[in-house]
Structure 1
Amino acid sequence: MEDRPLPRGRGALIQELLRKREEERTIGGRPDPQEQPTEAPKPRGRAALLKKIQEKKQKLVGAADSSVSAIEPSTSGTQATTSIASPAPSTTSKEIQEVTETLSQVSFQERETVFYKGETGKPLRASSNYIRLNIQKDGGVFEYEVQFNPDLDAKNRRVKLVSTVVREQLGGIPRVFDGGSVLYLPKKITDASQMFTATIPGPDGDQTLSCTFIYKKKKSHADRECLHLYNCLFKRIMYILLYTQMGRNYYDTHHGSLIPQHKLEVFPGFAVTVDELEDGLMLCLDTQHRVLRTQTAYDLFNELRAVDPRRFKEMANSSIIGSCILTKYNNKTYTVHDIAWDMNPMDTFPTRDGGSISFVQYYKNQYDITIKDTEQPLLINRKNVSQSGSKEKVEKIVCLIPELSNMTGLTDEMRSDFKVMKDVAQYTRITPNQRINALRTYLENIKKSPEAQKVLSDWGLAIAQNPIDLHARQLDNEIIYFGNNQVQTNNNADWNRAVGENKVTGPVDIFNWIVFFTDRDAKNAQMFAQTMMKLAPVMGCRINQPRPIKLPNDRTETYMTYCQENIDKNTQIVVFICPTMRTDRYSVIKKICCTQIPVASQVINSRTLGNPSKVRSIIQKIALQMNCKLGGTLWTVRFPFKGWMICGIDVYHGSKSEKTSVCGFVASMNETVSRWFSLAKFQDKELGDYLKETFIKALDRWKMENGSFPSKVVVIRDGVGDGQLDHCKRYEIEQLEGVLRDLELPVQICFIVVQKRINTRIFTQGREGYENPPPGTIIDYDISRKYLRDFFLVPQNVRQGTVNPTHYIVLHDTINLKPDHTQRLCYKLCHLYYNWPGTIRVPAPCQYAHKLAALVGQHIKKTPSAVLNDRLFYL
C-alpha cells in the first residue's frame, strides 16, 4: 500500500484540531472518568421522518430476515471470515411494491409555523394590498404518478395520451402535467391507482395505449409546486382580463396615458404574486406602471445619425443593445442582444412548410403591416428554448424590425431632467386611496368575468372582495442626542431644523484644507470658505481659512496634476468646486483621493452654490458631511446595551461586462453606534466571499478601540432575495461563525436580512380614507411569512405617493433577541444615516455599506487606502 501524502492546508488544520480535542478528553492516555456517555438526542425534523420511514420498512420486510441470512463472523483459526448469503427467491417484487405503497402513504409533516410577534407600541388599524384566497371544501391540489404501458419516450406523446384520458374519461377536468410522470388534478379520482386506456395517433397510424394514475398525496398549499400552480392560474386570469405581460408584471396596454411633450406613454398594471403567509393563502396585488416611449428604434437610429454620422453605428450599439423594446403588433417585449447591420427586411427566413419568405411579406401577410424602409438593419433577440423530447435547450434567434419596435423605459437624460420626472410622477406616484381603488377595480373585473371565475372554481379557489385588515403597531418616537441638547422626534421623523441649531456629538477642527476651483467659480469659492468659518461655532468646532488654488481649466488632466502637486500628508480634506458635473472627472478625483493620495475629499457642483436664498443651508449640510469624512459624528440615539458591534453588508453589481462585484462591509466601533469602520472587497459572486477576512479585521479594530472583543454581533445584510436565503444561511453565516470558532471567541451572532424590493404595501385608515402609516409602524403577523422570523417596518415618512415598507428576516440568532428588541433595534438604526437628518428606509450600516460599494464599484475601481477605513469618506 502506498503511503498517503501528509495533509496540507485546511486538512492539516482539521487534523491538528482533532488531535488537540482528543488530548483534552483523555487523562494519561485513558478516558476521563468524569466524562459520562450522554443520551443521544431524540431525532427531530427530517431525522424523525427518516426514522419513521425506516421503522415502516423494518415492519414490512421483517419476514425477509428468514430468507436473507445475517452476517455471521467465523472465528475458526486465527483469521475471521464473513459470509453473506444470497437472498432467497421468496423475496418477490410484490413485497417490494407493498413497501413502496406504504412509504408513499407516510405523511410528511409540515414545518412548524413560526410566531415572531412583538407586543410594544400603540395599536393601529391598518390594511394592505393582500387579498385572501379561500380553498373550497374538499378542494386543493392532488398529486398522481403516471406510468405508461408500454413506456413512451416522446414527451409530446405522453402529454397527448394524458390529455386524451382526462378529456374522454374524466370529464375534461383541469390538469397540470409536466410531460414526465407527475400529474396534478383539482380533485381526488382514486385512493390507490387506476388504469386507463386510450387511442392516440402514432407514426404508423392510431395506437391504443394504457396509463396508470397512482395517487400520491394531497399537496399542502404552502408546497412550492402548489404556489407555482396558483401563480400560473392568475397569469391565465391576467390574459383573460386582456393584460399584457412585460417582464414579470402585467399591464393594461389599452388604457395608457400619453405625455406628448416628452414623447412618452404610461401603462397602468399590476405585480401579481400568490404566497402562503402566516394568516393563510394570499394574493399580493401591487399597482405598477410601465413607461413606454412613443419613439421607435428606427426614430432613434435617425436621431443618432443626425448627431454624428461617423460614430452612428457605435452610438446605436451603445444606446440600443441591452435595452427592452415592445412590439405593439403582438404586445410582446424583447431584449435587444445585437444589431444585424448586414441584414434588412428584404432578407428571407425559412418557414415551417420548408419554403422561405421575406420579412416584408411576412408582416404584410400576418399583421397587414407595410414596412416603409427596406434598408434598415434588423434587431436581434436571443433566447434559449426547450426542445421537444430533449432536456437540452437550443438557442432561438428572433429578428425584429426597428420601425415596429417601441423603446421602453427612460433614458439617463430623461431621469436627470426634473421636468420629465415631474410629469411622469403625476401618473406613477399614486396615493394609498388610488392604489386601493385600482385593487378593487381589478377584483370587480374578476367577479364580472365568467371565464376568470371558472379558472378559480376549477381548482377550488375563491377570492375575497376586499383587502385584508392588519394588526399593526406604532413604536414610540426616538430622542435624538446632539452635543449639547436632545430633541424629541415627531411623526414626520425628521430633525432638519434641530441639526442647524445644535452642536454635533463629535466635532472635528479643520486647520489645513484646500479648495480647488476654476476662474469662473472664484466668487463661489470665497463665499463657500467664509460661510464654512461662520458655521463652525454652531457645529462646535473651529474651521480655519482654506488654501485656495485656482485651476487654469477644467480638464481632467489638470485636476490630476494639481492634486499631486498640492496635497501633502498634513492636508485634512480637499474641496473641488467643479463648473459642471462630469462622471469621468468625478471618478478621477475620487480615485486619486481614495487610493493614490489618501485624503478626505468633497466634490461640489458650481450650480449647487448658485442660489443665494438657499446657499447657507446647503453649505451647512456640506459642512456636516465634511465633518463625517474626517471621522466626526453628528448625532446619536440611545442604545440600552454595551459591547455590541453592529455590522452592515451590501454588494454592488456593475454592468454585465464587469464580472466582479464589490462587497461593502461596515461595522460600528463605539458604544453609541456612531463611529464606523469600513472595508470594500472585490468578489465574483453576490454572496460575500471575503466575509471572513473583513470580519476578522473588524473584530481586531473593535478590540483596538475598546480593549476587548465585542460581546455580541448583529449583522444586517442587504440585497438577499428569497431564493438566496438558504444559501446565505449556509454560506455567509457559516463564514462568520467559522471566524468565531477559529478565534475561540464566545461571541453570539444575530444575522438579519433586509429586503427593500418588495411588492407589499401598508395603509392606515384615516379620516379621508386610506393614507400612509406613520414612521415606526410594525407588521409582524397576518402577512408575515409562515416559516420565517420576519416583520415589516415603515421607518420613514413620505409626502407624496405611497410609502414602501421594509421586510426584515431574522435568519440566524444565537443572541435570542425578543421580537420587540429586534424591531426596536432596526428602527433605531434607521435614525443614524448622517447624509439625511431624518429616518431612512434601511438601517444606517446597510446604507453606508451600499454607498461604499457603489463608490468603489462605479468610480474608484480599486480597493481604497486603509488610511480611510475609520472615516465615512464615501458620503
Structure 2
Amino acid sequence: LQIVRTCRSTGIEMPDSPKFYEQARKNDTVEMVLKRIADKCDRDGIKCDLVFVALFSSEQYAQVKSCGDITFGLVTQCVLPKTISDVAIKKSYSTMLNIAMKINMKIGGINTKLLEDEVYDIELMNALDNHLYKNNALVIGVDVVHPSAIETHLPSIASVVGNVDTKVTKFHASVKIQPAKQELITGFIEQFSERLVEYLDVNGTAPKNIIVYRDGVSEGQFMQILEEELPALRRACKSFATNYRPLITFIVVQKRHHARFFCCDEAAARGRGKNIPAGTVIDRVVTSPDEYDFFLCSHHGIQGTSRPTRYHVLFDESNMDANALQSITYYLCHLYGRCARSVSIPAPVYFADLVCARARYHVLAALNSGLVEKYSDEDSNSSSSSSSSSSSSKAE
C-alpha cells in the first residue's frame, strides 16, 4: 500500500490492490511459481504489466530474471526482506521512491526529460537543438563486461543501447555473448543494425547524427576501435541503405583513472567532501596536447572525493565545438531514470552496463539449471534483446 501511494504521488497509475496473489508452495521452484502466474494470466485474459516478487535471498534473483525475461515474458520487480522492512516498518520514503522509479521505467514510463521551457542555458539548448533534436540523433551506449579470472566457464557480454525517440529519453538494447576476455565486439554490425531499425520503426525516419559513447576501452585499444568498430558502424549504416551516411561521433568513456580535482576557492566546493560542483569541465592543462579529450564531473559527490569521468573523442564528423559536446554529455548524465540526481556517466552507457549485468544473470541461470554445460566459442552467435525504458506510465 505504501508503494502504491508513492507511485500515485509521482504520477503512476496503479490499482488499490494486485489482480491476484500467488503463494510459493513447498518444494516449488521459481520457474513453477512464475509459470502458474503466466498460465493464469493467459487463461483469464489478464494483462500483466508487473509482477512483484518477494525473495528470501538475493541468490534467487538470477533465476527470477531469467524465467521472467526469457521463459515467460513477465516484467518483474524483486524485493528482499530488508526492502520490505524499510517500506512497511520504517516507512523509508527514499526506498519507496527508488522502487517507484524502477517500476515506472519497467512499465514504459519516462522518469527524466528536459523541461525546455525552464532552461535558461542558451548554449545547452542550441547544442541539443542543433545536434540532437533537429537531426534526429541516435545516441548509443556500448559496453563489454568480462568474467573474472576464476570464471573460465563464462563468456564476455557485449551490449549496445540506443534511444528510440527523438527526445533521447527512451532506450532499448541489443546484447550478445562473445568469446571471453575479448573487448572488441564481434557482433557490432548486427547490434547497431537492430538499433537503427528500431529507431526507424518508431520515428519513421533514420537518424542524421549518431553519437557513440564507448565504455571499457583502454588507451592502447583506441586504434583497434577506429579500425574495427567504427567501420562496423559504417557497414551497418550502408546495409541499412546504400546511400545512407549519417554523421558519426565516437567517444570513449573512461572511469578508471587516478585524476582528482579540487576547487582553488574553498567557498565554491560542495558538500562535506569539499568536491568540485557537478557540471565542472576540465579541458586544458592536464588534458592531452595531441588528442581531443576532457574531464567532466557530472555528479554530486555524496561521499568521499568525486572521481570525474574522462572522455576521449576519437572521431567526429559533425564538427561539434567542445562546449556543445560537453553540454550534451552533461545533459545525458541526467537521463538515468533510476536516480533523481545526475550520474557520473551518460545514461546510455549506464544502461549498457545494466544490460550486461542482466544478461550475465541469464547466462548463470542457464548454467545452473543445466540448460547448457559450459560456454564455448560457438555460443557467441547467441543473442537476446532487452528494454531499458519506454514511454507512457500506466500500470494495472
TM-score under structure 1 length normalisation: 0.37
Q: Is the 8 A contact 2:31 2:67 kept in 1?
A: yes
Residue 671 (str. 1) matches residue 147 (str. 2): no
Partner of 1:717: 214
In the other structure, the counterpart of 2:6 is 535
Aligned-pair identity in percent equals 26
Corresponding residue for residue 75 of structure 2: 600
Residue aligning to 1:807: 310
Q: Does 1:621 align with 2:92?
A: no
How big is the shift at 1:671?
Answer: 1.8
Aligned to 1:804, the other structure's residue is in SS state coil
Please give the alpha-carbon distance, in whole angstroms, between the structure 1 residues aligned to 2:363 and 2:108. 20
8 Å CA contact 1:653–1:857 kept in 2: the answer is no
Q: By how many angstroms is 1:738 displaced?
A: 1.8
Unaligned ranges ≥5, structure 2: 117-127, 367-381, 391-396
| Selected match of 1:688 from 171, 185, 191 | 185
Compute the displacement of 1:700 (Å). 0.8
Contact 1:774 1:797 in 2 (8 A): yes
In structure 1, the partner of 2:285 is 782
Q: Secondary structure at the match of 1:666?
A: strand
Amino acid at match of 1:588: Q
Shift of 1:541: 3.3
Equivalent pair of 1:702/1:709 in contact (CA under 8 Å)? yes
> Which amino acid in structure 2 is aligned with residue 655 of structure 1?
S
Q: What's the secondary structure of 1:549's corresponding residue?
A: coil
- Taking a change above 3 Å as real, the CA distance of residues 587 and 599 of structure 1, as seen in their structure-2 partners, is same
Shift, 1:582, TM fit: 3.1
Q: 1:617 to 1:784 in 2, by over 3 A?
A: closer
Shift of 1:664: 1.2
Query: Structure 1 residues 797 and 681 mapped into 2: Cα distance closer, same or farther (>3 Å)?
Result: same
Structure 2 residue 43 is the aligned partner of structure 1 residue 550: no
Is 1:849 the counterpart of 2:355? The answer is no
The 1:864/1:536 distance shift into structure 2, 3 A limit, reads farther
- SS of the residue 2:13 aligns to: coil
Alpha-carbon distance in structure 1 between the residues aligned to 2:82 and 2:389: 27
Contact 2:336 2:342 in 1 (8 A): yes
Alignment-derived partner of residue 572 in structure 1: 49
**CA distance in structure 2 between the partners assigned to 1:814 and 1:768 by the alignment:** 40
Is 2:35 the partner of 1:561? no
* Structure-to-structure mapping, 1:130-529, within 5 angstroms: none
User: Match of 1:550, SS?
Assistant: coil
Counterpart residue type for residue 614 of structure 1: K
* Unaligned 5+ runs, structure 1: 1-529
* Alpha-carbon distance in structure 2 between the residues aligned to 1:864 and 1:575: 27
Q: Name the structure 2 match of 1:727.
A: 224
The CA distance in 1 between the partners of 2:36 and 2:310, in whole Å, is 49
- The one-letter code of the counterpart of 1:533 is V
Contact 1:856 1:864 in 2 (8 A): no
Query: Which position in structure 2 is the counterpart of 1:582?
Result: 58
Counterpart CA distance in 1 for 2:74 and 2:34 is 11
Determine helix, strand or coil for the equivalent of 1:701: helix
Indicate how the Cα distance of structure 1 residues 851 and 820 shifts in structure 2: closer, same or farther if over 3 A, else same: same
Task: Give the whole-Å Cα distance in 1 for the aligned partners of 2:12 and 2:219.
Answer: 47
SS in 2 for 1:825: helix
User: CA RMSD for the aligned pairs?
Assistant: 2.1
> Do the aligned residues in 2 keep the contact of 1:598 with 1:865 (CA within 8 Å)?
no
Quick one: structure 1 residues 614 and 621, their matched pair in 2 at CA, closer, same or farther if it must change by over 3 Å? same
Name which one, 1 or 2, has greater alpha-carbon Rg: 1
Which residue in 2 is equivalent to 1:464?
none
Distance 2:4 2:304 in 1: 39
Separation in 2, partners of 1:812, 1:842: 19
Native 8 Å contact 2:163 2:171 kept in 1: yes
Match of 2:321 among 792, 809, 818: 818
TM-score (norm: length of structure 2)? 0.80
Question: For the residues of structure 2 that align with 1:661 and 1:753, how far apart are their CA atoms?
Answer: 19
Deviation at 1:767, TM superposition (A): 3.8
Residue identity in the other structure for 1:582:
S
Local SS of the residue matching 1:705 = helix
Q: Distance in 1 between matches of 2:11 and 2:308?
A: 36
| 1:764 maps onto 2:237 in alignment | no
SS at match of 1:765: coil
* Partners of 2:267 and 2:208 in 1: CA distance: 49
How far off its partner does 1:734 sit? 1.0
Does the CA contact (< 8 Å) of 1:609 and 1:615 recur in 2? no
Give the letter for the 1:550 counterpart: Q
The alpha-carbon deviation at position 864 of structure 1 amounts to 7.4
Greater RCO between the two (CA within 8 Å, min separation 6)? 2
Q: Does 1:644 align with 2:137?
A: yes
Q: Residue 373 of structure 2 aligns with which residue?
A: none
Rounded to whole Å, the distance in 1 between the matches of 2:7 and 2:306 is 36
Given that residues 141 and 214 in structure 2 are in contact (C-alpha distance below 8 angstroms), is that contact kept between their aligned partners in structure 1? yes
Tell me which amino acid in the other structure corresponds to 2:21: P
1:653 to 139, 146, 159: 146
Distance across 1 between alignment mates of 2:85 and 2:383: 32
The count of aligned residue pairs is: 338
Contact 1:668 1:674 in 2 (8 A): yes
Q: Displacement, 1:759?
A: 0.8
1:755 corresponds to which of 240, 254, 257: 254
- CA shift, 1:655, in A, is 2.5
The answer as to whether partners of 1:648 and 1:665 remain within 8 angstroms in 2 is yes
Displacement of 1:558 after TM fit? 2.9
Which residue identity lines up with residue 70 of structure 2 in the other structure? Answer: T
Residues 734/659 of structure 1: CA separation in 2 closer, same or farther (3 Å cut): farther
Separation in 2, partners of 1:749, 1:717: 13
Q: 1:854 to 1:722 in 2, by over 3 A?
A: same
Instruction: After TM superposition, give the deviation of residue 768 of structure 1 in Å.
Output: 7.7
Tell me which residue corresponds to 2:374.
none
Deviations 1:623-647 (A, max 9, x none): 2211101221112125323311111
Preserved CA contact (<8 Å) 2:61 2:78: yes
**What amino acid is aligned across from residue 843 of structure 1 in structure 2?**
P
CA distance in 1, matches of 2:52, 2:383: 19
The answer on whether the counterparts of 1:654 and 1:857 sit within 8 Å (CA) in structure 2 is no
Counterpart secondary structure, 1:786: coil
Spell out, residue by residue over 1:655-690, the C-alpha distance to the aligned partner (whole angstroms, 9 max, x if none): 330352110111001122111111111112211111
Q: Which structure dedicates a bigger proportion of its chain to helix?
A: 2
| Residues in 1 aligned to 2:305 and 2:333: alpha-carbon distance in whole angstroms | 19
1:296-332 residue CA offsets vs partner (Å, 9 max, x unmatched): xxxxxxxxxxxxxxxxxxxxxxxxxxxxxxxxxxxxx
Which amino acid is the alignment partner of residue 627 of structure 1?
A: N
Give the Å deviation of 1:543.
1.0
Code of the aligned partner of 1:749: I
Shift of 1:571: 1.7
Asked if 1:795 corresponds to 2:311, the answer is no
